[in-house]
Structure 1
Amino acid sequence: DVLEHGGEVNMVMFGSGGVGKKSIINRFLVNDFSGKYIYSDEDETYTKQTEVDGQIFTFNILKPCSASDCFTAMRDLHIKMNDIFFVVHSITSAKGLNDTIDYIDQIKRVKDDDHPHVMIVSNKNDQESLRMVSNDAGRKMAAQNGVAYMEVSAKTGDGVEEMFCEVIRYAKDHSYVCGRSYNIKRAK
């Protein structure tokens, strides 16, 4: 099993437009938030090697798609091809957190797995004055859906590198409590 011994892990991010999926990837790949993305529209996958607990993983991150630019059959294909799923929303939109349920349900249906390796990612925690989704609401949503949770900021970089490492630890052991108080155990 690649998660136990390192190796290639296929990942994809889902979420509505404007929540920061590309910005999170850019921050992770090159530690940049300039709005100048290092990839083109023709790129399909972005790759980075990362060490997690002494094991080397090659993260193959599929180009993200939102509900508006990725039809259902395409999302189904992305789900079938990938091992790890990030469902991203912005803390500045109350509707965004509820949208994560549709993505999680689709992942569970397509993978035919009640416990796929999913992490809800609440982005834009640098915009506290515009916050419409509390950290507790995000954790509760994750617990109700049996997935991991983390808050990050693509703008400042807070939590971005960590989310990629934490999701591997979580995928290895779904009872794992992800680092930082932002994360939760799988709901019982």
Structure 2
Amino acid sequence: MGKRTQRKVSTGHQSPGLTTKDARTLRVKMVLLGSSGVGKSSLALRFSKDEFKGTSPTVGSAYLTQVVCLSDVTLRFEIWDTAGQEKYHSVTPLYYRGAHAALVVYDISKRESFTRAQMWLKELQQHYVPGSTVVVLVANKGDLSDLRQVTLQEGNRLAIERGLLFMETSAKSGDQVNELLLAIAHRVKRSLNEHEGGPTERRENDFIELSRSETLQHPLAPCCSSVGP
């Protein structure tokens, strides 16, 4: 199975993902789901280290982290990359239960992966409460547009029908990957604020215009915890 981590246990009444009541640092569990070979591991690596390299099929799950600094809060993403092979399907729910964000990934050059993504979405609906988990449809391998079998319009239509965030990315080139993670960060923050009964983000556009102070913190980047609104 995948690498396990230890969480610090906090006391008092807190929302899921909030490490301390006043620190404004959110711990966010995010899982990547989809067929084998759609690029989940490559996306996770691009999210975490802004790197791309050939990967072998994931066994069980793999775990990476990334810090996203918005104008008024820091989110620590705990990224779970799950195996796409059918033989691991029965254990996958152990990883996505309790997730704040779930990314369902398909390969634009393989229609079968798009069909499989719809099955993942149906299964997710049975395991999360609407509003508690940010579900995202991700069309990966945008660099293979000459081999495209699934149009952008098809992916966007499915996302609209299901009320999901949607973006087409390329883990190989990095195109739209940072934008996707920042959009997810805003959605997760809004979801947690609504759970707490606090202020909410504007809803006019899922792809919120980002201020210059909102950044990704890669492993060698300076600490961004002092970033202000």
TM interval, short-chain normalised: 0.7 to 0.9
1:7 is aligned, of 7, 10, 26, to: 26
Rounded Cα–Cα distance in structure 1 between residues aligned with 2:181 and 2:39? 15
**AA paired with 1:17?**
S
| Cα distance change of structure 1 residues 155 and 119 upon mapping to structure 2, 3 Å threshold | same
Deviation, structure 1 residue 46: 1.2
Indicate whether 1:71 and 2:89 are aligned: yes
Indicate whether 1:34 and 2:53 are aligned: yes
Indicate whether 1:177 and 2:205 are aligned: yes
2:75 is aligned, of 57, 74, 89, to: 57
Deviation, structure 1 residue 26: 1.0
Deviations 1:110-168 (A, max 9, x none): 12438741000000111111111111110001111121100000010001111111112
Is contact 2:60–2:88 with CA below 8 Å preserved after alignment?
no
Deviation, structure 1 residue 43: 7.3
Rounded Cα–Cα distance in structure 1 between residues aligned with 2:119 and 2:125? 10
| Identity across matched positions, percent | 24
**AA paired with 1:8?**
R
**AA paired with 1:92?**
S
Is contact 1:28–1:161 with CA below 8 Å preserved after alignment?
yes
Rounded Cα–Cα distance in structure 2 between residues aligned with 1:10 and 1:116? 10
| Cα distance change of structure 1 residues 51 and 76 upon mapping to structure 2, 3 Å threshold | same
Rounded Cα–Cα distance in structure 2 between residues aligned with 1:115 and 1:143? 18
| Cα distance change of structure 1 residues 104 and 42 upon mapping to structure 2, 3 Å threshold | closer
**AA paired with 1:35?**
G
Q: Which structure has the larger Rg over C-alpha atoms? A: 2
Is contact 1:15–1:67 with CA below 8 Å preserved after alignment?
no
Aligned residue pairs total: 176
Deviation, structure 1 residue 176: 5.3
Deviation, structure 1 residue 81: 3.1
Is contact 1:120–1:147 with CA below 8 Å preserved after alignment?
yes
Indicate whether 1:18 and 2:42 are aligned: no
Which residue matches 1:118? 135
| Cα distance change of structure 1 residues 132 and 174 upon mapping to structure 2, 3 Å threshold | farther
Which residue matches 1:184? none
TM-score (norm 2): 0.68
Aligned pairs for 1:16-165 within 5 A:
16-35=35-54, 44-72=62-90, 74-113=91-130, 116-165=133-182
Deviation, structure 1 residue 42: 8.9
Deviation, structure 1 residue 178: 3.0
Rounded Cα–Cα distance in structure 2 between residues aligned with 1:147 and 1:104? 10
Is contact 1:13–1:86 with CA below 8 Å preserved after alignment?
yes
**AA paired with 2:154?**
A
| Gapped regions of structure 1 (runs ≥ 5) | 181-188
Deviation, structure 1 residue 33: 1.2
Which residue matches 2:5? none
Is contact 1:108–1:114 with CA below 8 Å preserved after alignment?
no
TM-score (norm 1): 0.82
RMSD between superposed Cα atoms in Å: 2.6
| Cα distance change of structure 1 residues 69 and 20 upon mapping to structure 2, 3 Å threshold | farther
